[in-house]
Chain A
């Protein structure tokens, strides 16, 4: 750089011209540039039309979680049956608390606390008036218990913690008939229940209900990062269960669903059936006012029986009517054939 050359008036003018050109350029080119405050994106209509509910289901293989949800749908545990000298039926069940990793959505492992290795636990079933013995073994890492809904002596209510490695037998007569639930009742309650210690408990009336295709459904949720909000909402513990493989029913066949809500952290959950109506019996009681509807809601611990027939062949969707819950996993299909 030489310091001899002088800055002449002409140079200053040149410099000014450069600046003016820049300003002019910035003004005019700004109109050409797409950086105005209202940026226009192209419509993505073609993108929309590609999307349907398949958008939310993963691959078509049945993973372990999917199989668990399917098994819980139709499996009822009637216990080991024998007759007492009095003529009363005795049912003995084994219920074991186990820490187990459960697949709750495709590829997602949840460190669960389970009854008999599934979330929800087994669906216990008996008839009103039976004597029930639940042999509970705690093989988990924390004290647990089993608290049954229904009418029974308070000392059988499952408020006493059973330490890891300990056993306890809950014994009581099955009453009243209807739809019950059971769950762990050890503090902190929310943690013990959310981890997976719950299930359905059905006491059939002495006069059997009309024969039907009977299904068991527990609405639940999973909070992965423990921020008090569920990351997945599921039925029988698996997100989008019955989406890829709809529940098969026969046209006009009576379908009976034992439905309960054991979702933690949310006040309510709901069940909505597409293209059809059902009769709802709260707490599974015929003497309760029933409803003929396509949507019901249940608060935590509430349960009931749904009865329906499918008048047309084809796929009927069911899901939580809270869109968020539905899109986070609580959604599936019936298929009438």
Chain B
């Protein structure tokens, strides 16, 4: 009986393997050789050094390829590839080009393979790529510190002011928080897609964002429900919400750090400086958001420090990551996770608001709440001008 059952499961599997083997051996029956060579070379990172350029490349196509020529600014240039100009499938290589680049100028690099497939790389404005030295490490860390931790802590300082509010007003602030978060969610997702599009197509950067967001959202909800069931607790502890918010916002701030770090690494210092100002202003509101769920409790200063660090410190990690090791694949994944975490917080706060109003037999979308929500969105919208110019 049992054997029969196992066999019934195995038969389709064996047949499937048979079909696949047939296709692999005989081809799909249309054409054996592709019309043109399929070569996909991916430029992962261009480092501008004192000597010239250093490109990290990988062969993400189905075939082995050979790098034969490099053209910089419409000029054939000498280069070397380590370990070897011939890259196997998924093999990485480093192209070193000695080139007298010009400070602040754009430079275009063309890599041509043996079969004449051209891959283009661009340096928007040439400047030395920051080396991973101690002082640079510290400098990037400071940027992350005053983009992340400082404004969020400043936002948290509004706590005593907000604490005197009545229940309805507190709920309006919570609704405002939902507005802020919704904006952040969409923004984080969009940033993720933007970075994901730069990743090699095999890794499907955009799907990575979706997978990261969906799984994080569901995992956090699942974990939350499991915890509640275990503790048999009613409702949400305000601290946990603030904690969750700080985590979600932290991941979002990682993305902000990433943007700042990589814009400096790509030589766009002016953009980087604007991003710092913009994000700093932007992030003050995040502090308000994190403080909002705590209005009915009596938190200690330790709590605020933990929350501020949790939400702000990832910006430091982000600037390091963006400045020194940025890769679009990881960027997309992290931003996806950030978006998922923010979505979960939106879900939790909204649910809490709805439940609270239901307990008092009030409509949850009151004029006050709607106004709070709208203001939240608008605050984010307008402070974002500093980031987008």
Binding site for B on A (CB under 8 A): 1-7, 11-12, 14-16, 18-19, 22-23, 25-26, 29, 32-42, 44, 47-48, 50-51, 55-58, 105-111, 224-225, 231-232, 239-240, 324, 327-329
Contact = CB atoms under 8 A, between A and B. Distances in A.
Q: Which 8 A-B pairs have the closest CB atoms?
A: A107-B68, A327-B75, A26-B146, A22-B150, A224-B116, A5-B300, A11-B301, A33-B139
Contacts of B110: 231
A33 B78 contact: no
Contact of B74 (A106, A108, A328): A328
B69 interface: yes
Nearest to B150: A22
A7 B299 contact: yes
12 contacts: A7-B299, A15-B157, A18-B153, A22-B145, A35-B143, A36-B269, A37-B269, A40-B103, A50-B98, A107-B69, A108-B116, A231-B71
Contacts of A26: 142, 145-146, 150
Contact of A56 (B76, B264, B299): B76
B300 A11 contact: yes
A39 B305 CA distance: 35
Interface string B58-96: 000000001011010011111000000100000000000
Nearest to A32: B139
A47 B68 contact: no
A12 B136 CA distance: 33
B378 interface: no
- Count chain A CB atoms within 10 A of each CB in B52, B85, B157, B301 and give the residue with the most: B301
Contacts of B115: 109
Contacts, number: 154
Contact of A231 (B118, B156, B269): B118
B123 interface: no
- Count chain B CB atoms within 10 A of each CB in A2, A12, A108, A225 and give the residue with the most: A108
A19 to B, nearest CB: 5
Contacts of A328: 71, 74-76
Contact of B52 (A40, A47, A225): A47
A18 B160 CA distance: 16
Interface in B111-163: 112, 114-118, 126-128, 136, 139, 142-143, 145-146, 149-150, 153-154, 156-157, 159-160
Interface of B: 50-52, 66, 68-69, 71, 74-78, 85, 98-101, 103, 110, 112, 114-118, 126-128, 136, 139, 142-143, 145-146, 149-150, 153-154, 156-157, 159-160, 239, 264, 267, 269-270, 272-273, 297-305
Interface residues of B: mostly helix, strand, loop or mixed?
mixed
Contacts of B71: 231, 328
A168 to B, nearest CB: 29
A110 B150 contact: no
Contacts of A5: 298-300, 302
B46 to A, nearest CB: 15
Given A34-B139, A36-B269, A23 B69 contact: no
Interface residues of A: mostly helix, strand, loop or mixed?
loop
A244 to B, nearest CB: 13
B300 A105 contact: no
A327 B50 CA distance: 23
Given A22-B145, A107-B69, A47 B153 contact: no
Given A37-B270, A55-B77, A58-B78, A7 B160 contact: yes
Nearest to B269: A39
B236 to A, nearest CB: 14
A47 B100 contact: yes
Contact of A105 (B69, B74, B117): B69
Contacts of A107: 66, 68-69, 85, 114
Given A3-B297, A25-B145, A15 B156 contact: yes
Contacts of B126: 41
A239 B264 CA distance: 38
B128 A42 contact: yes
Contact of B269 (A2, A35, A48, A240): A35
Given A22-B145, A33-B143, A56-B76, A4 B66 contact: no
Contacts of B52: 47
B296 to A, nearest CB: 10
Contacts of A57: 78
A173 B98 CA distance: 55
B148 to A, nearest CB: 10
- Count chain A CB atoms within 10 A of each CB in B74, B101, B117, B239 and give the residue with the most: B74
Nearest to A232: B76
Contacts of A4: 298
Given A22-B149, A48-B100, A240-B76, A109 B114 contact: yes
A25 B142 contact: yes
Nearest to A329: B76
A39 B51 contact: no
